[in-house]
A = this chain, B = another copy of it.
Amino acid sequence: MKKQTPTLRDIARETGVHVSTVSRALNPVTGTSITDDVVKRIKEAADRLGYRPNRLAVGLRTNRTMTVGLMIPDITNTIFPPILRGVESVLEPLGYAVIIVNTDSMAAREHQLVDVLRERGVDGIIHAAVLRDDPKIIEVVRGGTPVVTVNRRIEGEGIPSVVNDDALGVRLVLGHLYDEGHRRIAHVAGPANLSTGQFRRKAFKSAATEMGLKLPAKAIQQAKRFDEAEGRRCTEALLDSWNPTAILCANDRLALGALEVLEERGIECPGEISVTGFNDMPFLDRIRPGLTTVRIEQFGVGQESARLLVRMMTEPETTAPSETILPVRLIKRGSVAPPPAE
């Protein structure tokens, strides 16, 4: 009942040649040195039997598994599925399979999952959940495994990264708010242990300073996580200690939390306070008010990181670009309007 999957041996028996001949015939590179007729017979037998190479055996022998690991914080966060599709779109046609792991942004889990990937001999890792201080992944890199970080980066280790143009994005929203007349602009910053959080905060400070905005310490509230609850907490702290006319949030989820607080307190958005996000998650156009935000190329980021990794895996001698920056766009929706007259 349970039919065994055919192996090279089965084809060899069928065609009356040796296993190694079959192996060569089926490999496009070595197949050239085999008589055309024999190759034809072998290939014919191969698909008659429905032969599929056993990747485990290949991997064990060649030390290449054609598998890559994708580490993300949490696939239920809507910005990651498109990244995965982008990654797959380049990897799958090349014959790579992807093993996905969710770290939940916890260092301990991440370390454990790195080992899971290593046990499986992944040829490379796309890391979209890297922490700013991440000794484990540095160890992996030093061990010779190609790694590229996505969205975030580790400084000073020369690990290639594919990121969005955070600085530009912050400037775009900030400029937009300024143009609308805002002068007291607050920032709900992302977590300090993530490079995106830190980068956007820095970009905010320098751009705001350039524009000549006043920036009291209270103008920047630091979230501990990129989620709605922290967005709420920071917004409440903000409203209780300052009187901004606009809140620039480090990502959309923080902004959603901000909107909730404003609504609860009966503060009109955008009438009294404008709010902006970052990432352009799905559905932001359907909520009310639509959230003005920065669109990042999620699918593109996935593609780029995969292309980069493939290059690192297949041409280890060439040096990969240490930083690939993808463009971003400002998406204007309903959550920004001129500040109320004072």
Contact = CB atoms under 8 A, between A and B. Distances in A.
How many A residues touch the partner, as a band? 35 or more
A75 B78 contact: no
A13 interface: no
A115 B52 contact: yes
Interface string A23-63: 00000000000000000000000000000111111011000
A52 to B, nearest CB: 5
Contacts of A80: 81
Given A60-B60, A84-B75, A287-B283, A98 B97 contact: no
A325 to B, nearest CB: 24
A115 B119 CA distance: 23
18 contacts: A3-B143, A3-B144, A5-B118, A52-B115, A52-B118, A54-B119, A55-B120, A60-B60, A74-B85, A75-B81, A97-B116, A256-B286, A283-B283, A283-B286, A286-B287, A286-B288, A287-B287, A288-B288
Nearest to A96: B116
A88 interface: yes
B65 A76 contact: no
A5 to B, nearest CB: 7
A55 B119 contact: yes
A99 B102 contact: no
Interface in A237-280: 256
A297 to B, nearest CB: 14
Copies in the complex: 2
Given A5-B118, A116-B97, A81 B76 contact: yes
Q: Is the interface of A mostly helix, strand, loop or mixed?
A: mixed
A327 interface: no
A108 interface: no
A121 B56 CA distance: 8
A282 B75 CA distance: 13
Contacts of A142: 1
Given A54-B119, A56-B60, 19 more contacts: A1-B142, A1-B144, A56-B56, A56-B59, A56-B121, A60-B60, A74-B85, A75-B75, A75-B81, A76-B85, A78-B78, A78-B282, A88-B102, A92-B101, A92-B116, A97-B120, A256-B286, A283-B287, A286-B287
Given A99-B99, A144-B1, A283-B286, A52 B85 contact: no
